[in-house]
């Protein structure tokens, strides 16, 4: 009798009072972290249930992020929760009832993430840089802007990757002549990278890509995202650099038009000459026998 009453009550107040039963487990739980902006992501999108995220340093008690309790989202921003950047973290995504809905269960289905260490695993985003050529054109200097992170210091100032990695941060420069496919590389411990006569030829235009390089990491995490390609000015401008693609395209089009017109005129002249010859022959009277 009591069981019948309990079931009836749960059916009547399913979305507001109580719920029992199973919920789908979260799937594809993974970390996405760029410049210490760290998201825990999963699927599927919930319908009549919600998700709660718990995280912890390995071997310590689990905590909850206040923004990721019984949420309908499929991601949780843990950037400010992973305080110890060199610690090893794990997280669980629990499938739970909707907010305001009670349950008679003490444990809910959950899916665990892989282990994650911010200092070792966050991807370093693409850096911005400026190019300066010396007056004598014998030296090119790249001024790299250290990418900002999602972290803040005690004065609430946004930290750069240099603030976090200090001397471990280096930059890898990949460069080559603008008119050639050959490539060179150079590693610099500074954000101000000088290329002298041993690296570049005076007055020649070079193109550059820059990316963060952290040799202390494992091989597949050492290099950051590649910057956009930038080229220095030079005296050895190619035809395309000197005149531009638009001018060259217009010049080629004019040549094609001239050739087409010349061919057309030649064809018309030939036809007129042929017709004239034919008319002349028709106008000559037949000889009498």
72-123 confidence digits (pLDDT tens): 999 999 999 999 999 999 999 999 999 888 777 778 999 999 999 999 999 9
Same domain, 141 and 115: no
Q: Is the pLDDT of residue 15 over 70?
A: no
Overall pTM surpassing 0.75 (yes/no)? no
- Weakest mean pLDDT among 30-39, 63-72, 231-240: 231-240
Residue 113 lies in a domain: yes
Choose one of 191, 207, 236: the last residue of a domain. 236
Is position 17 within any domain? Answer: yes
Range of the domain at 220: 128-236
Is residue 220 packed enough to be buried (19+ CB in 10 Å), middle (13-18) or exposed (0-12)?
Answer: exposed
Which pLDDT does position 287 carry in this prediction?
53
How many distinct helices (H) and strands (E) make up the chain?
4, 18
Identify whether 273 is part of a domain: no
- The overall average pLDDT reported for the chain is 87
Asked whether residue 251 is domain-assigned, the answer is no
Q: Residues 61, 154: one domain?
A: no
pLDDT of residue 248: 81
Examine the pLDDT at 11 and tell me if it is beyond 50.
Answer: no
Read off the pLDDT band of 12 (50, 70, 90): very low
The answer to whether 17 and 10 are in contact (CB under 8 A) is: yes
Q: How many domains does the chain divide into? A: 2
20 inside domain:
yes
Residues 114 and 132 in one domain: no
pLDDT digits (tens, 9 = 90+) for 248-276: 888 898 899 999 888 988 888 887 777 77
pLDDT band at 20 (very low <50, low <70, confident <90, very high): very low
Quick: pLDDT tens for 196-224: 989 999 999 999 999 999 999 999 999 99
pLDDT at 46 (0 to 100): 94
Residue 189 has pLDDT above 80, yes or no: yes
DSSP 208-263: EEEEEE-TTS-GGGSB-PPPPPEE---S---HHHHHHHHHHHHHHHHHHHHHHHHH
Output the domain CATH number for residue 90: 2.60.40.10
Q: What are phi and psi of 219, to 5 degrees?
A: -55, -45
pLDDT band at 285 (very low <50, low <70, confident <90, very high): low
**Residue 7's pLDDT is what?**
44
């Amino acid at each position: 009798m009591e069981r019948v009453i309990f079931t009836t009550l749960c059916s009547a107040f399913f979305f507001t009072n109580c719920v029992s039963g199973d919920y789908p487990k979260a799937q594809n739980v993974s970390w996405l972290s760029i410049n210490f902006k760290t998201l825990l992501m999963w699927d599927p999108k919930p319908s009549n249930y919600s998700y709660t995220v718990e995280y912890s340093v390995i071997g310590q008690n689990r905590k909850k992020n206040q923004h990721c309790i019984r949420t309908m989202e499929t991601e949780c921003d843990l950037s400010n929760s992973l305080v110890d950047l060199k610690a090893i973290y794990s997280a669980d995504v629990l499938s739970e009832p909707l907010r305001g809905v009670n349950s008679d269960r003490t444990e809910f289905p959950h899916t665990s993430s892989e282990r994650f260490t911010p200092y070792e695993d966050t991807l370093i985003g693409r850096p911005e840089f400026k190019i300066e050529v010396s007056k004598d054109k014998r030296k090119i200097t790249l001024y790299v802007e250290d990418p900002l992170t999602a972290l803040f210091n005690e004065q609430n100032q946004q930290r750069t990757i240099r603030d976090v990695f200090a001397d471990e941060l280096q930059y890898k420069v990949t460069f080559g002549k603008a008119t050639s496919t050959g490539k060179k590389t150079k590693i610099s411990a500074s954000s101000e990278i000088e290329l002298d006569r041993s690296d570049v030829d005076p007055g020649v235009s070079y193109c550059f890509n820059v990316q963060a390089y952290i040799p202390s990491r494992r091989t597949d995490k050492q290099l950051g995202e590649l910057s956009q390609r930038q080229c220095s000015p030079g005296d050895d401008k190619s035809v395309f650099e000197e005149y531009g693609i638009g001018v060259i395209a217009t010049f080629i089009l004019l040549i094609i038009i001239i050739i087409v017109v010349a061919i057309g005129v030649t064809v018309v002249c030939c036809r007129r000459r042929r017709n004239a010859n034919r008319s002349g022959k028709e106008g000559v009277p037949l000889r009498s026998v």
